[in-house]
Amino acid sequence: MNEKIMFSIVIPVYNAQNTIHRTLLSVLNQSYTDYEVVIVNDGSTDKSATILEEFNGHKQIKVIPQVNGGVSSARNTGLKNCAGEYVIFLDSDDWVDDNFLLIFKENLNSFKDNSVDLIIGNLKDERIRPVTQYGFFSAEDIPVIIGELEVTDNIGYLHNKCYRKKIIDDSGMCFQEGVSMSEDLLFNLRYICQVNNLLVISSSSYHYENLSGSLSKKRVSHDELLLRKKHLADTYDAIIKKYKNSNLKYFMKGISRRMLALDMQIVTSMYYSSFPQSGILAEIKNLKKRKYPKGIFNLLNRNEKVKFFIMRLNSISAYYALGILYRMHFF
């Protein structure tokens, strides 16, 4: 393959026999053709390997098999084996429009005098709020844009973004392995810490399927949620330190929403992690003492609003109300 490829598309695959064919056909049908596809078969046990073998002879595709290590491991393998100037991540159950790469390329061409470090678009999914602030933003504006991405909950998605490979290589960045949730969010936040500019566009040519179900509906252990909170807090601290001379008001509001939602998830995880009543009550009381920005309630989703309302009750009432929701499989 040409060493000076414009785009590398990294696709981790695990047991995707029902969807990977559609995904790859959508990629091979691109109107812009200067790209490679790096597929990492992460130890699939279904017919994914057979399907991938059908595509392996294509000049723009390479398939890399590995022992199952999880999606972060597969993406890291992809990053080590791609040669594009920019990297894009696809999931094996999603697909893209024919002009997906062309839109990125045309926008890059519009800013030839600036090496665009990151492009952010929208996703074709009505469940995900679109980004509303568009344009080219330099370093001093980045905290405001991060705040916008946090408030709209777009910051955690990989698939609507185009990353400059040199930044990933120079910083030694990779996806954090051994973490089963928020690995995409952590990668994005750490990457944004390295950029000098970013471009936000209104286009949406990526169809986000999410067949595996929402992470918010999956029960995650209390210990893992605490670890997630530590990783996020450390990363947010690094961003605040870098942009300490910028306007951080909107950014702080955005991360307050995420940390509040995580704090409430930590409380609810204590029910299915068999914590005693005293421990849950203590955590509810601690949460009630914390201060959050005005208007934070309006930024929460429906389930988060229900939990937030309950936790504003007296601690005993909140404890029993959450217990009822737990038995109803609300969380």
The pLDDT value recorded for residue 218 is: 60
197/274 Cα distance (integer angstroms): 46
CA distance readout (Å), 324 to 215, 268, 310: 22, 11, 11
* Confidence band, pLDDT 50/70/90 cuts, at residue 211: low
Assigned token pair, 156:
């955690």
pLDDT number for residue 269? 93
What pLDDT does residue 217 have?
47
What pLDDT is recorded for position 113? 66
pLDDT at 330 over 70: yes
Tokens found for residue 295: 């208007």
- Residue 213 has a pLDDT of 39
pLDDT tens per residue, range 294-313: 888 888 888 899 999 998 88
DSSP state of 168: H
For the stretch 25-73, pLDDT in tens is: 999 999 999 999 999 999 999 999 999 999 988 999 999 999 999 999 9
What's the confidence (pLDDT) of residue 165? Answer: 97
Task: Pinpoint the residues of the chain covered by CATH 3.90.550.10.
Answer: 7-216
Question: What sign results for the dihedral spanned by CA atoms 107, 108, 111, 112?
Answer: negative
Average pLDDT taken over every residue of the chain:
89
Binning the chain into helix, strand and coil, the percentages to the nearest 5 are 45, 15, 40
Q: Please tell me whether residue 216 adopts helix, strand or coil conformation.
A: helix
Per-residue model confidence as pLDDT tens digits over 82-106: 999 999 999 999 999 999 999 999 9
| List of E strands, the chain | 7-13, 35-42, 61-66, 86-89, 95-96, 118-120, 135-138, 161-164, 197-200, 206-207
Comparing 7-11, 181-185, 207-211, 306-310, which segment has the lowest mean pLDDT? Answer: 207-211
Q: What is the distance between the alpha carbons of residues 255 and 273, in angstroms, rounded to a whole number?
A: 26
Which CATH superfamily does the domain covering 7-216 fall into?
Spore Coat Polysaccharide Biosynthesis Protein SpsA; Chain A (3.90.550.10)
Q: Are 150 and 299 in contact (CB under 8 A)?
A: no
Cα 89 to Cα 65: distance, rounded to the nearest angstrom: 17
* 125 vs 26, higher pLDDT: 26
Q: What is the pLDDT of residues 215-226, one digit of tens each?
A: 334 678 899 899
State the Cα torsion 267-270-276-280 to the nearest 10°.
0
pLDDT tens per residue, range 130-176: 788 889 999 888 988 888 888 887 888 999 999 999 999 999 999 98
Burial zone of 136 (CB within 10 Å; 0-12 exposed, 13-18 middle, 19+ buried) = middle
Please name the residues in contact with 296: beta carbons below 8 A apart, sequence gap of 6 or more: 253, 256, 257, 260
Of 42, 38, 37, nearest in space to 74 by CA? 42
| Winning range, highest mean pLDDT, from 123-137, 246-260, 263-277 | 263-277
